[in-house]
Chain A
Amino acid sequence: MKKTQEKSKDMSDKAIDSALVKQAQNGDIKAFELLVQRYQQKVGGVVSKLIKDYHEIQDVTQDVFVKVYNSLAKFRGDSAFYTWIYRIAINTAKNYLVAKSRRIQNSDIEPIEAENYAGAFENQNFDTPDAEYERQEIEQVVHASISELPDDLKQAITLREVEGMSYEEIAQAMDCPIGTVRSRIFRARDAVENALKPLRKKEYKRANYVR
């Protein structure tokens, strides 16, 4: 009972979302960025079910978040924020496919001219092969640094992120206090982040350079 009461004092996922949405509704773009960082992978995953090309996935995912921001005023919190984004993501991806097929049907450009046709690449943001390589590198670094973690940290982070277990469940599984679970998960994340930092700095510089 005491544990349940303690638990209810913590901020749930929904509460975190609604707090960030509120900040964003008041014009705080940084708060919206935090929401994007929170959901970009999930949205990208949804979009990738309909669209296979990586660059198109990136573009459509961006469009989804722009649409989300533009209609943020309409979000009243009746449903979970992710459920709302999910619907927007599906619709945006479908609309993109319809527009694309129409564009292809209406296109009367000769194949030879297509290479120089600027309209074909409208609103697309092509990353360099370097960027693609860096993304693969990020994945490799994350997996490699997790495999190098001490067993207790590795187990804690895996149970949390891969199995989706709560701290309480992890504490039971690892037979340790919740405080220890908290600390182990943080230390694991911190270690992986330290391994990622050099890569991320490079990527950040490149992104700014491209802009």
Chain B
Amino acid sequence: MSDKSNQQISNLMDGELEFNASKFLLKRMAADESLSKTWENYHLIKSCLQKKPHEPLVVDIASKVSQKLQGQNITVGKIEPKLNRWLKPVLGVGIAASVAFLSVFMLQNQQVNTPTATILANNAVPNPIIKPMIQPSLASAGKTFVPPPSLSRYPSLSTKNNYSSNQVLSQSMGMPYLIIINQKAKQHNLSPMKIKDLSD
């Protein structure tokens, strides 16, 4: 058995062993000390015969290297394929872009569907602070629009929402809507909570 294995090792070294038998033998050698010793000795003989006269004979490097590696405690892991390495950041950028696109799209949708600013414009009390900011032509063009409940996810909130604006208003004003409410509240000496009553 051992003789047969040794002959197989000899054939394997010279690339003369059948493929499947070679694979099997390589695994056995990694597990069997006596077989790996034979492999080492056969290679040592090869080295002695092949080395040039000025070259030194290099012996027993394997055990020392193995000792060093065990001291380092390194685990060799396969590196991910190159594609995966590139794919990760590209996917990240893709996701970020799609999130940005979705948020812009949703914002535009919301602006079209929420008319509270038009309602405000119709019921507006002349206000010296707001007046220069709203273009009267655009404000008067606004029509009262009550959204069907199905368009809004929270109809109870959207009909009473004083913080949303319509498209016309948002185009004509670069000012945050909250400030306008505060100005209105100031003028009528109302707390922000009572604005709803004012617009009604």
Using a CB–CB cutoff of 8 Å, the interface residues on chain A facing chain B are 9-13, 15-16, 19-20, 23-34, 36-38, 40-41, 43-45, 48, 54, 57-58, 61-62, 65-66, 69-70, 72-74, 125, 135, 138-139, 142-143, 146, 157-158, 160-162, 166-167, 182-183, 185-186, 189-190, 192-193, 196-197, 200, 203, 207, 211
Which listed residue (B26, B48, B56, B57) contacts A16, Cβ 8 A? B26
Q: Is the CB of B56 within 8 A of A196?
A: no
B85 within 8 Å of A by Cβ?
no
Using a CB–CB cutoff of 8 Å, the interface residues on chain B facing chain A are 3, 6-7, 10-12, 14-19, 22-23, 26-27, 29-31, 36-52, 54-70, 72, 74-79
Closest chain-B Cβ to A172's Cβ sits at a distance in Å of: 15
A70 to B77, CA, bound (A): 10
Q: Is the CB of B61 within 8 A of A62?
A: yes
Q: Is the CB of B16 within 8 A of A167?
A: yes
Query: Could you say which residues of chain A place their CB within 8 Å of the CB of B49?
Result: 142, 146, 157-158, 161-162
Q: Is the CB of A23 within 8 A of B26?
A: yes
Query: Could you say which residues of chain B place their CB within 8 Å of the CB of A28?
Result: 30
Which listed residue (B22, B36, B42, B45) contacts A11, Cβ 8 A? B22
Q: Is the CB of A33 within 8 A of B26?
A: no
Closest chain-A Cβ to B49's Cβ sits at a distance in Å of: 4
Which listed residue (B6, B16, B50, B68) contacts A182, Cβ 8 A? B16
A15 to B19, CA, bound (A): 9
A191 to B122, CA, bound (A): 110
Q: Is the CB of A73 within 8 A of B36?
A: no
A69-B65, A69-B69 known; A9 vs B19 contact (CB < 8 Å): yes
Q: Is the CB of B56 within 8 A of A57?
A: yes
Q: Is the CB of A45 within 8 A of B55?
A: yes
A11-B22, A34-B30 known; A203 vs B7 contact (CB < 8 Å): no
By beta carbon, the residue of chain A nearest B46 is A161
Q: Is the CB of A58 within 8 A of B48?
A: no
A142 to B100, CA, bound (A): 74
